[in-house]
Each structure stands twice: as C-alpha cells, then as structure tokens.
Amino acid sequence: MSLTLAHAATAPAQSTQVFILPLGITVLPQAAATDLPEAARTYVAAALADKQPFVALNHFSHQHYFVVLEEKRTPDLQLEALRKAGHQLHAALKKEKTAEVFVHNLSDNPAAALTLAEGLFLSAYEFEGYKTDEKSRTPAALTRISLVGDAASAAQVTELQHVLEGVAFARDLVNAPVNKLNALQLAERLSEAGDAAGYSTDILDLAKIESLRMGGLLAVNLGSPEPPTFSILEWKPENAQNEHPYVLVGKGVVYDTGGLSLKPTPNSMDMMKCDMAGGAAVGGTLYALAKNKVPLHVIGLVPATDNRPGGLAYVPGDVLTMFSGLTVEVKNTDAEGRLLLADALSFAKKYQPELVIDLATLTGAAVRAIGTEASAVMGTAAPDTTAQLLAAAHRTHERLVEFPLWDDYADHMKSDIADLSNLGKAEAGHISAAKFLERFIEGTPWLHLDIAGPAYLTAPESYRGKGGTGTGVRLLYEFLTKQLA
C-alpha cells in the first residue's frame, strides 16, 4: 500500500481536516471552528445538537469532517466505533479524491486519533490484483494521513504504520491465488518480508522435511505436483526481555481441495486460497514486531503445502507416523490442517517456549458456532495468560470466544488402529480438532486460535473489507507487546 501515516505539528490552511469531538458535545469547540464562517459554524452546531456522530462540511476546495465519540458499553467498543468512523470517513475522502487528511483529537480519549486512523488505513486497503485495464491500475488518491499535534506522538504513529503494514502484508498473501502463491512462493514472500523488516528466515525444503520425518506435512503434500516448505521466522533482538521465546505457528495450506475427500466447489473450494491465513498472520505479526524493534524473542513456524487428490495422494484409511512419533489414522483427507499443525507444534517444543500460539482456518464447526464475528480459542495456557489474550482481543476487536478443552473430548479422536484419528464426531468439531492438536504440544503452555470465520469475508464489512482480513496480526501484536516488563 502506498499510504503513509505521519505526524504533523499543524494542519495547513485550506486542507482537509478531521476533528474528533468529545462524547455528547453540542457546541463546536473554538479549536475546530477557527477557519469556519458563521454559516458553517451554525450548520455544524445544528448537526451536533441533532446528535449526528459524523458531520461533513464541504468547502469545495477542501473539506472538514467532525467525528463525535459515541457512548458505548465499554471503552473497547468506543474504540471500535472510531474504527468504523474511519471507514465512513474513507468513503467520503474517496468520493472527494482527497490526497491528504489531517486528524485532530479534541476528545478526552488519547487513543482516539490513532484508532480512527487505523480504521481509515484498513478501509483504504485494496488488493492490487491482476486486472489490466487502466482504470483498475490507477492508484488511490489518498496517500497520507497526518495526525496533528498531540493527537499522537511521532513514535506512536510510526508504530501503528508498521502494524498496519503487517496486516496489509497478511491480506495480500491471503488474497493471492495458488497459481501466484504456492508453498515455495509463500516461503519466499515470508523471507522477503523478513529482509525488509529485520527478522531472519530459514526455509526447510522437501529433503529436510523428509529427514525430520514430518509425516503429517508430507502426507498432505503427496497429491501435489509441488513440494512443501517449512518456514522458520525468528525475531531475536539483543535486548529481548524474555528468556524463552514465544512461538507462533500458522497453518499454511495454500490451497485446499479437500484431497480425495473432495470439497464441493460453490461457497467452499472456490475460496480455499484463504486456507493459509494462519501462516499469513504469523508473517504479518513477525513483520510488525521486527519493524518496530519490539524487545521480545519471537519465532514463527509456517508449514506449507497445497492439498490435492493427484498422484500418490494420501487416502482415508492410511496411518501416518508424525514428527512426534505418534500415529494417526486418516479418516478424512479434508481434515488436513491439523496434520501440518501437529508436526509444527511438536517441532515448536524444541525451543522450550514461554508460550505457543497457533492460528488456523481449521474447522467449519467454528464458523457455525460463532460466525465471522470472532475466532474460537482453546488451550492449556495459564488462565491469566488466556485472560490477557482475551483482553487484547477486545481492545483490537479481533474477538475470541473461549471453548472448553475437557478430557471427554479426547474420546472423539480415538482410533481402533492408531494413537489418534484425524476426524472426530459431527458435533463440537472445533473442540475435538483442538483436542487432537493438544496431544502434540503436551507439557508446553499453548493456545489454539481457530480463525476460520473472520479470516476471509465473502462480502465487504466496514474496515475489514472483502477477502483476506489479516485477522490475528493486530491481536497478536497487542498481546505480545503487553508482555513486556
């Protein structure tokens, strides 16, 4: 994206400006009215008296916009209203073909301007795509969002820029089709992002994966004409505050046909380029952490392949020996994501991590349970760790719903001939999938995020847009940076 967040001491005259106003205001503050003629002040005052949360004032050469803080049940929901106001603002700026906007915070919420800018930036995201007509290739008019004075510090603006670049990077990866982003190309894109941001990348090829005996990843890859990859991303600054690393694991199925257990095409296989959204989120998070030089040691693991029914594709009834040594009976080749993740989770244990978090578009059951509005979370981390992640989820509005991981659910994954089956019962599929993963990360604090619902949207939704949303990047960045002493 060619959109820049900046800090400005003042806003020039005759420039497009946005003023964030306090909750319940009915009189226009002098700081927002300095350049307005009497008729304009009267118009805005009438709109405020009418309790309009968004007011536009067109001077033809430039515009003024007024965003009023809304009363919500929680401070987090008030911030979310500001992100949505950023989306509304983007529509107005796009209509006027505005190139730069200056944002003032006249409210008593110090995070207001940054949050509005966040919603505006995310709304402005457009996937570059592959259209060739001139209109489609014309860049967006908006190129700069400047936060004025004490609306935010220059350091805060830069930090937010890098986080949102991480989200845009993740969205780009999710939106790319498999013929433009196979497993090797995904690994290369993650490596290029590391070069730009400062994290290191080690890409394990087929020979190395075979030598490690990652039976899950290798089995899923059997039907593909292209080899798998296993990317290890590492951000380890000299001033890292944690003795043991945080490890993030992201599912990297670059396309999922379902394998021999073939998916139906409409509203299913046709959008399965998004099945690597977990891996994309890991890449976006590492990018943001490294770019902002966050003093934490964080490792990202992204096992990647496509899942196809060709060649020597694995079949229902096969028994796999995993990296951990456990055996798995394949009941359904469309339950492939857990096989990749199982190998990666076992591999993660060698780092003796402080905490492992995996992200995956894993089950339709999670979507049926909570829709696209949230992700499911389960795991074995300490309750206070889970509570911190849930709090970060509310602050970023990448909300999580915690589900139980009771021992009873282990029965769902029993096999008559192997240690585990890769498919559970029809009920509670997102929980039994997590219970399967738990066997491969025993003894290590772990949280599993099933992001199948919000990772990819088939219709536009406010600042989350349409297509890849970059779910997980803002959440994990918020959570991890709050772990600093």
Q: Which of 313, 340, 325, 318 is nearest to 421 (CA)?
A: 318
- Do the beta carbons of residue 322 and residue 342 sit within 8 Å? yes
The DSSP code sequence of 421-444 is ES---SSSHHHHHHHHHHTTSTTS
- Give the total residue count for the chain: 485
User: 467 CB contacts (<8 Å, ≥6 apart)?
Assistant: 127, 171, 174, 175, 274, 456, 457
Handedness of CA 439, 443, 444, 450 (dihedral sign): positive
CA distance 90 to 18: 11
40: CB partners within 8 A, 6+ apart: 57, 59, 64
**Residue whose structure tokens are 């490890």:** 247
Q: How far is CA 1 from CA 57, 79, 172, in A?
A: 28, 24, 10
DSSP string, 2-24: --EEEEESSPPTT--EEEEE-TT
Q: Which residue has the tokens 């107005």?
A: 92
The yes-or-no answer on residue 368 being catalytic is: no
- As a whole number of Å, the CA-based R_g of the chain is 24
Active site residue 338: yes
Whether 285 contacts 300, CB under 8 Å: yes
Residue 339's closest CA among 301, 303, 293?
A: 303
Residue 122 neighbours by CB under 8 Å, 6+ apart: 83, 86, 87, 164, 167, 463, 464, 465
What does 319-383 look like in DSSP terms, one character per residue? Answer: EEE-TTS-EEE-S-TT--HHHHHHHHHHHHGGG--SEEEEEE---HHHHHHHTTS-EEEEESS-H
User: β-strand 375-379 against 446-450: which pairing, if any?
Assistant: antiparallel
For residue 203, list its beta bridge partners.
Answer: 231
Q: What is the DSSP letter of 71?
A: P
Give me the catalytic one of 213, 263, 349, 399: 263
Catalytic one of 338, 439, 464, 474:
338
Cβ proximity of 111 and 150 under 8 Å: no
Return the active site residues: 263, 338
